[in-house]
Structure 1
Amino acid sequence: MGDSGTTAPYTLSTPVGNSPLQPSASPNEISVLVTGFGPFKTNLVNASYLIASSLPSSFLFPSPKGHDSDPRRVSLHVHPTPIPVAYATVREALPLMLEEFAVAHGGRRPDLIIHIGIAAPRQYYSVESLAHRDDYNITDVNGRPGYVDGEKRWKELGLPPILTPGRAADDASSASPYQPDDQFLETWRSFAPESDLRISQDAGHYLCDFIFYTSMSLAQLQGQDRNVLFLHVPGASEDANIKQGQIVTLALIKAMVACWLDKKHPA
């Protein structure tokens, strides 16, 4: 089912363009790691990476109500190359990515992580609320299913069938990530009011689901907040589609800051 042959072993390249991995200038700066995917099957151009690479390097976001401090800088660190649509590559690449980020930021993990992928038939944007451990039977661009690189390993590690964004029980951070709900959706829509935005509970048991689970599992195993979301975007890749995807992605980042960092989720 793949269309590009066997991928080479994955190595991280030096970031270029809009997202140099430089140390944060301020402890109040919010760092966001963003990834997009490469071509697969009949999708010779993957809109997810075009959207990711179109994002600005940073923007200013107001401080929470009741705080007199200046607006905070939100720095976007877009991975400089599209992630190959291959289970083994995702398994190998994410730990390297996070390690590289930490080295460049004094050991600091990204405050927020967003993975972007396409759901080609859809005409709307959806944030995924959970990721699955099992049943990655659809083959990747290398013709491989995901059992060995995912389900088998995750079961051996004792990871649960479902992972959702959330806090680590022993994490003393001030962040409060939680599974996207109606309140989160309302906030997201407030930043992109003319867009069709939804919450999904089925990331698809393919590489989108796989990278989402992989990312959260790494945080889970390290006792860190699962401060990760996956954004599904339409597959269209014309300039207007990419611009709209950029608007939606920036709105999602603002919603994550507003809901996860600025205020606690009501019980």
Structure 2
Amino acid sequence: MTRPWVLSHLSRVLLSARIRKNYFAIESSASRSSYHENPDVSHRVFTKGETKNVWGKSPEILNTTLELEQVVEKWREELRSAKPAPDVRLSDDVENFLCGFMYYASLVEMAKKGDGKRNVVFFHVPLFETEKDIRRGTEVTIALIKGLAETSAG
């Protein structure tokens, strides 16, 4: 059941998702550097100079300020009746390419919004190839959103 306060609390949480392996994971942190080592599809990199200009003296590693252990606990509770139980995890391996870059940028920007909190979570999902996979992914995503809302409501 969705609580009536879900939307008001989610307005303070940023959720971003990308494809990964065969499980669902929320990431705890991201690094600000190493993006100069990985060209994008246009063979461009985010240079060391751009890193310094854009992120100044931001810390090398930024973590979300959300209580992710509690989020995962609530996430799993929401999915307790799902058969088979989906593999949902807390991870600290967002990687240093597009996902890590997007997560770090989101953490920096969210921290600038008033109270300095970094209420951001990066969500890795498996590849959805069938309608059944999509329904399963939808169920897992809704359960995560509920867990985030309940945890952020505190």
| TM-score normalised by structure 1 residue count | 0.50
Q: For structure 1, which segment, 141-150 or 197-206, has the greater mean C-alpha deviation from structure 2 after superposition?
A: 141-150
User: Which residue number corresponds to residue 7 of structure 1?
Assistant: none
- 1:99-128 CA distances to partner (integer Å, 9 max, x unpaired)? xxxxxxxxxx93211000011xx1110100
The runs of 5 or more residues in structure 2 that have no matched partner are: none
- Equivalent residues of 2:6, 2:150 under 8 A apart: no
Q: Provide the C-alpha distance between the structure 1 equivalents of 2:109 and 2:43, rounded to a whole number of angstroms.
A: 25
User: Are the structure 2 counterparts of residues 150 and 189 from structure 1 closer, same or farther at C-alpha, using a change threshold of 3 Å?
Assistant: farther
Matched, 1:162 2:95: no
Contact 2:27/2:93 (<8 A) preserved:
yes
Give the structure 2 partner of residue 140 of structure 1: 40
- Give 1:1-267 correspondences, 5 Å limit: 61-62=2-3, 71-72=4-5, 74=7, 110-119=11-20, 122-136=21-35, 137-147=37-47, 151-155=51-55, 157-166=56-65, 177-178=66-67, 180-181=68-69, 183-193=70-80, 194-224=85-115, 225-261=117-153, 263=154
The separation in 2 between residues aligned to 1:247 and 1:132, in whole angstroms, is 30
For structure 1, the residue ranges without an aligned partner over 5 or more in a row are 1-59, 63-70, 76-108, 167-176
Deviation of the 1:235 alpha carbon: 2.1
Query: How many residues are aligned here?
Result: 147
Q: Describe the shift of the 1:248–1:149 C-alpha distance in structure 2 as closer, same or farther (beyond 3 A).
A: farther
Which residue of structure 2 aligns with residue 92 of structure 1? none
Q: 3-state SS of the aligned residue for 2:76?
A: helix
**RMSD of aligned alpha carbons:** 2.3
Q: 1:73 to 1:189 in 2, by over 3 A?
A: closer
TM-score computed with the length of structure 2 as normaliser: 0.83
Compare the two structures and name the one with the higher helix fraction. 2
